[in-house]
Amino acid sequence: MVKEFLKGNHAFAEAAIRAGVEAFYGYPITPSTEFLEHMARRLPSLGRAFVQAESEVAAINMVYGAACTGKRVMTASSSPGVSLMMEGISYIAGTEVPAVIVNIMRGGPGLGNIAPSQGDYYQMVKGGGHGDYFPIVLAPASVQEGIDSIALAFDLAEKYRSIVHVIVDGNMGQMMEPAELPPMREIPKEVPDWAVAGAKGRDANILTSIYIAPEDEEVTNLRLLKRWKEIEKNEVLFDEYLVDDAEILVIGFGTAGRVASSAIRDAREEGIKAGLLRPITLAPFPSQRLVELTKQVKRILVVEMNSGMMLDDIMKIVQGEIPIEFYGRMGGVTPLPDEILGEIKRVAANKEPGAEDPRDEWISRLEQLISGEK
Amino acid sequence: MVSTTAEVIYQRPESFTDVHTHYCPGCTHGTAHRLVAEVIDEMGLREKTIGVAPVGCSVFAYNYFNMDFVEAAHGRAPAMATGIKRVLPDNTVFTYQGDGDLASIGMAEIMHAAIRGENITVIFINNAIYGMTGGQMAPTTLPGMKTTSSPFGRDVETAGHPVRMAEILSTIDGSSYIVRRSLHNAANIRKSKKAIRLAFEAQERGLGFSMVELLSSCPTNWKLTAQEALDFVSDEMVPVFPLGDYKVSPTLASLKV
């Protein structure tokens, strides 16, 4: 295989095809549309299913149906579309069937805009739909990592009969960079024993998310929770950059983490011992690694393209052991390496104890920055 | 010694499970279920059929059919059926939906399943009311009909007129077989079964979207006896929802079943 110059959305869609996706059901929405377009071009000639649904609500319920047959199935959308899918996502979780959902995130809330954002962290990581369930969330930071994440997402979805979200901001869907696609995988022929395919020579299979007796629902909730505990134990993924001797730990995921790595390289040239922890699985979160690093570093700087959503999880893990600071851009604004470098330098010079809410000081700094930019 | 031979002329269909249903006495869901089960048996489709249950009184339909079944979100059964049929085109896929499910919350999904000409069969139970939630107004509730959410009778000025799904779906090119029947007496039950048979025949022949609308009774929420409820179907519902064939593909028109 060779590296090609690939656009994120096309690359992720092609990665899914090569991972053996047998059905794609979706609805156009910027900045994810090229994903659907790629599937529309490719799937029919491969004899696989493609439907442009009437809405994201219908799309996710088509995914739900195909997931019940045990076939590899997925959809891709962007923030407002994923909001619409939350109904079906909850049903898929409750029925314990595997599905992969890609969210190319954009600015919000509401119609927001079509610029890159990480504002769906809460919605994706905390579940988003109703009821007790725990989705796996992968947050790749490059086109290559996105390609790899798609194949991994299907494997995890089937291993745990779980929803796997692959979330990237619009930058990653739209940008082109060199990446290598994997070879085409064989589509497995055997049907999982739980799937619906016609009750030939066996008892009927019933797939439902309804447990009308609370005692039965509780048993289901417990099963999902215990499965999640297994996932937390086995499936944590993260990347690190220059953390071995780091005194300042920058934490960021996706594009924010990647921009931060450029800033860290520059900070090192100025003699500041900064390093990066970049979670690849936002759920399960690399909590254990963060606890270890908390014992080593002096301060933490969380960088996000939202109002500090992952920040909340990090504060819960760090428990006030060391000061945490925050730098975020919102609304579809991508931070530049120089902005983050400035923050690293400021954090390195700051000897004050940590604020109760790291957002408070950030808000006034951001207001100054915005008025300066105008 | 006299030898006798017995011929089975009536028995529980293999496609039916041997359990009591949760349906109210006098409700026609049981009749509709049985007709579907008989047709699936007669066509030999049980082992390749996947049913899609709705949200509403028939939410537990999967307990009564002896075949693979999934349970959809409210109104989304046609989307779920689409997802299944597109990856398993050789299987038989049907939805079983009530009027709140199909004609209110699921209006987009039923319309677009027909527009795409999805090769699925829809059994549509129209009893002019929300049964499971305790008798609220449905999109098919008759003008002036009292329900818990139209306590003074459905006011067409503010709540609109009943929607006629068979007529609407018959205008869509992707539809192959769209008819309305009623379950209020034996003669109409026989006609309903023939219609269900033709709807499944349409699917087996790959003709596209098929739907049988069945006028049904809800004695509990209509606050009528079983017989009064059947009379209500024939006297009050049939004039608003005329029985008939709204669209029949030429291939089916010549078919003898």
Residue B188 CA, chain-centre distance (Å), reads: 14
Distance CA(B41)–CA(B13), nearest Å, equals: 7
In this predicted model, what pLDDT tens digit does every residue of A204-249 receive, in sequence order?
999 999 999 999 999 999 999 999 999 999 999 999 999 999 999 9
Q: Tally the domains of chain B.
A: 1
Query: CATH code at B88?
Result: 3.40.50.970
Q: Collapse the DSSP code of B108 into the 3-class scheme (helix H, G, I; strand E, B; otherwise coil) and give the result.
A: helix
CA–CA min distance A206, chain B (Å)? 5
Sign of the dihedral defined by the CA atoms of residues A290, A296, A298, A301, in that order:
negative
* H/E element, A103: strand A99-105
Q: CA of B84, closest CA in chain A: separation in Å? A: 5
Number of alpha carbons in the 13 Å side-chain half-sphere of residue B250: 0
The minimal CB distance from A205 to the residues B60, B68, B87 is found for B68
Give the CA distances from residue A300 to residues A92, A350, B217, in Å, rounded to whole numbers and listed in that order. Answer: 37, 11, 66
Q: Which amino acid is at A17?
A: I
Residue B10 resides in a domain: no
Question: pLDDT in tens for each of the 257 residues of chain B?
Answer: 677 888 988 899 999 999 999 999 999 999 999 999 999 999 999 999 999 999 999 999 999 999 999 999 999 999 999 999 999 999 999 999 999 999 999 999 999 999 999 999 999 999 999 999 999 999 999 999 999 999 999 999 999 999 999 999 999 999 999 999 999 999 999 999 999 999 999 999 999 999 999 999 999 999 999 999 999 999 999 999 999 999 999 999 989 88
- Chains A and B: how many Cβ contacts under 8 Å? 133
Average pLDDT, chain A: 97
Dihedral of the alpha carbons of A52, A54, A55, A57, in degrees to the nearest 10: -100
Number of alpha carbons in the 13 Å side-chain half-sphere of residue B114: 24
Task: Let me know if residue B146 belongs to a domain.
Answer: yes
Q: Looking at B73-207, list the stretches that DSSP marks H as alpha helix, in order from N- to C-terminal side.
A: 77-87, 99-100, 107-115, 156-159, 165-170, 186-204
In a domain, B120, yes or no: yes
Q: In what order do the strands lie in the sheet with A324-328?
A: A238-241, A274-279, A248-251, A299-304, A324-328
**B38: closest CA of chain A, how far (Å):** 17
Q: What is the pLDDT of residue B2?
A: 75
Residue B23 lies in a domain: no
pLDDT (0 to 100) of residue B186:
98
What DSSP state is assigned to residue A80? H
pLDDT range class, residue A137, cuts 50, 70, 90: very high
Of A71, A198, A209, the CB nearest to B71: A209
CA-to-CA separations, A117 to A8, A81, A120, A332, B127, in angstroms, rounded? 15, 14, 8, 5, 47
pLDDT digits (tens, 9 = 90+) for A80-129: 999 999 999 999 999 999 999 999 999 999 999 999 999 999 999 999 99
Amino acid in the structure at residue A220? T
- Cα separation, A12 vs A143, in Å, equals 8
Question: Using 50, 70 and 90 to split pLDDT, how confident is the model at A1?
Answer: low
Q: How many CB atoms lie within 10 A of CB A241?
A: 18
Contact A204 B84 (CB under 8 A): no
Residue of A nearest to B16 (CA): A204
Does any domain span residue B72?
yes
Question: How many Cβ atoms sit within 10 Å of the Cβ of residue B54?
Answer: 30
What is the Cα–Cα distance from B142 to A63, expressed in whole angstroms? Answer: 36
Alpha helix locations (H) across A19-96? 33-42, 56-68, 79-95
Give me the numbers of helices (H) and strands (E) for chain B, helices first please. 11, 9
Angle between helix B107-115 and helix A56-68 axes, rounded to 10 deg: 70
ipTM at complex level: 0.96
Among B74, B88, B90, B92, pick the best mutation site for testing chain A contact (most A Cβ within 10 A). B88
DSSP state of B152: T
- Burial of A220 (C-beta count, 10 Å sphere; 0-12/13-18/19+): middle
CA distance readout (Å), A364 to A359, A360, B69 = 9, 7, 57
Let me know if residue B15 belongs to a domain.
no
Whether B90 is in a domain gets the answer: yes
Say if B135 falls within a structural domain: yes
List domains and CATH numbers for chain A.
4-234 (3.40.50.970), 238-373 (3.40.50.920)
Nearest-CA residue of chain A relative to B111? A54
Chain B residue with CA closest to A209: the answer is B71
pLDDT digits (tens, 9 = 90+) for A181-192: 999 999 988 999
Domain range for residue B69? 29-253
